[in-house]
């Protein structure tokens, strides 16, 4: 045998066991935690007046994603996560699903829990859904989740679990009447689920807290932790975040006791920026300022500025994710293909994805393969970032164009549109291209129909087809 052949055979002999081990490695458990309306700066590792030791430990031992983008509001972000596609592709780009509205993620969209279930995962949603409640076909148990517990809509009272006087609290499609603080109940149910399950089978748990969304409510023992905060809303807001942090600690402890923690990939992020405008403040029951802090970024929830769309985010998986900051652009639509790849799951049957596998960026800090961020595309506005250049275009009159270099000016304080007409034109063209691909807004369709009646004449707008589909 020639030396080179002998050497090659020796190398293959060494690699074969490693390849076999890689193929037989257990699929990771996935714990996907979403906070609701959490400010970018409202975590302990960025703020001195908040206490989030569990989140801070996950951050110090994992990757902090400093450029993790979401949609500017709740329903669109959660839809983007579940589909790996921009919400404009299927009509969920605008606002949220209101209690009286019946639409949701269209049934021809294949969702993340369906993909993971096909790969052998147990799938559970514990917490807020807000992706369709008016028809049981749209509920989580019908969209790939084996187990469901929590709220179907969005903003509910933390103690009564009601919205507009109606209980919104379910387990496996059955309405529940039970006492307790929402955040605590969600954490306890997640712990119970972990304790009872077969640890040998991979788990996908979507733990979707309602905290710290309005109304600002917390048990008094949590509020008392923050007596040094003078503003009453900020004090209760901090208490709500602390309660969430305690429940995350309990869930991680349950995973540890079950022998699952070392093989559990944990993702944590907010669904949008913290609330800075009263228009998106919901049920505020106490006096004081809006409490969220989005750090250096402009505005907040509902806005296409960085404060509305850049979320507090981290990923933690012992031995698999390099600790440190990842200052690379990523988008929530990237999570579906990334998690599917780590789970050994196929994405066959999905609609064309907007997301990409960004695992090397998350786990090793490699350059992001994502060259474009689509903040949102709606019939009246849009924003796109390519490289460091971001264009926001308000199309309603008076129209407004804003161009920012977000690397040099993350606070979007200096509009450079007048000095860079070529860049403005290129990004306007891109926004218009995307707008031509978008589906009509289901929110605006439902809103106008509720006011005008199902068979009333459609209102006359220059782009009337954005409101009503053909045949309506």
Contact assessment for residue 156 and residue 150, using Cβ atoms and an 8 Å cutoff: no
Strand 313-316 and strand 264-270: the pairing is antiparallel
- Which residues, at least 6 apart from 330, have a Cβ–Cβ distance to it below 8 Å? 65, 67, 68, 69, 358, 361, 362, 368, 370
CA–CA separation, 81 vs 464, rounded Å?
29
Cis upstream peptide for 324 (omega within 30°): no
What the block records as the tokens of 469 is 């589909």
Element (DSSP H or E) covering residue 266: strand 264-270
What the block records as the tokens of 140 is 């989580």
Instruction: Tell me, yes or no, if 9 is annotated catalytic.
Output: no
Strand 174-175 and strand 170-171: the pairing is antiparallel
- Residue from 74, 213, 269, 331 carrying the catalytic annotation: 74
Contact assessment for residue 363 and residue 322, using Cβ atoms and an 8 Å cutoff: yes
Q: How many other β-carbons are positioned within 10 Å of the β-carbon of residue 53?
A: 14
Closest by CA to 304, choosing from 69, 1, 466, is: 69
Q: How many CA atoms lie within 13 A of 217 on its CB side?
A: 19
Residue 20: phi and psi, rounded to 5, are -65, -40
Element (DSSP H or E) covering residue 58: helix 53-60
- Residue from 9, 130, 320, 331 carrying the catalytic annotation: 130
Strand 147-150 and strand 170-171: the pairing is antiparallel
So which residues are the catalytic ones?
74, 130
């Amino acid at each position: 045998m020639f030396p080179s052949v002998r050497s090659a055979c020796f190398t293959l002999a060494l690699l074969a066991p490693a390849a076999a081990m890689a193929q037989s490695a257990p699929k990771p458990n996935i714990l996907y935690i979403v906070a609701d309306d959490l400010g970018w700066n409202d975590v302990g590792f960025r703020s001195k007046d908040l206490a989030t030791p569990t989140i801070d430990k996950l951050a110090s031992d994992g990757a902090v994603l400093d450029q993790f983008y979401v949609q500017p509001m709740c329903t669109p972000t959660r839809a983007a996560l579940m589909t790996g596609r921009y919400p404009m592709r299927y009509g969920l780009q605008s606002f949220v699903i209101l209690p009286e509205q019946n639409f949701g993620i269209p049934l021809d969209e294949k969702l993340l829990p369906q993909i993971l279930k096909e790969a052998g995962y147990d799938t559970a949603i514990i917490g807020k859904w807000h992706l369709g409640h008016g028809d049981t076909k749209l509920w989580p148990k019908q969209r790939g989740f084996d187990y469901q517990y929590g709220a179907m809509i969005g903003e509910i009272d933390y103690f009564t679990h009601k919205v507009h006087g109606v209980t919104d609290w379910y387990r496996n499609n059955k309405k529940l009447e039970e006492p307790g603080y929402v955040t605590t109940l969600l954490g306890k149910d997640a712990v119970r689920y972990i304790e009872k399950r077969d640890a040998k089978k991979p788990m996908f748990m979507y733990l979707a807290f309602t905290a710290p969304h309005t109304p600002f409510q917390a048990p008094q023992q949590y509020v008392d932790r923050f007596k040094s905060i003078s503003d009453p809303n900020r004090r209760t807001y901090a208490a709500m975040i602390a309660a969430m942090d305690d429940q995350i600690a309990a869930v991680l402890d349950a995973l540890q006791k079950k022998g699952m923690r070392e093989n559990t990939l944990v993702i944590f992020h907010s669904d949008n920026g913290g609330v800075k405008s009263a228009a998106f403040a919901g049920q505020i029951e106490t006096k004081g300022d809006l409490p969220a802090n989005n750090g250096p970024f402009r505005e907040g929830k509902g806005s296409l500025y960085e404060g509305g769309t850049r979320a507090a985010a981290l990923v933690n998986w012992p031995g698999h994710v390099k600790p440190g900051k990842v200052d690379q652009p990523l988008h929530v639509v990237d999570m579906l293909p990334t998690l599917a790849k780590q789970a050994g799951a196929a994405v066959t049957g999905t609609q064309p994805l907007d997301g990409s596998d960004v695992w090397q960026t998350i786990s090793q800090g490699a350059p992001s393969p994502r060259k474009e961020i689509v903040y949102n595309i709606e019939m009246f506005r849009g924003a796109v970032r390519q490289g460091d250049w971001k264009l926001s275009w308000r199309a309603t009159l008076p129209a407004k164009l804003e161009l920012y270099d977000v690397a040099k000016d993350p606070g979007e304080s200096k509009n450079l549109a007048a000095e860079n007409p070529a860049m403005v034109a290129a990004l306007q063209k891109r926004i218009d291209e995307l707008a031509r691909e978008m589906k009509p807004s289901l929110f605006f369709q439902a809103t106008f129909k509720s006011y005008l009646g199902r068979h009333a004449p459609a209102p006359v707008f220059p782009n009337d087809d954005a409101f009503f589909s053909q045949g309506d």
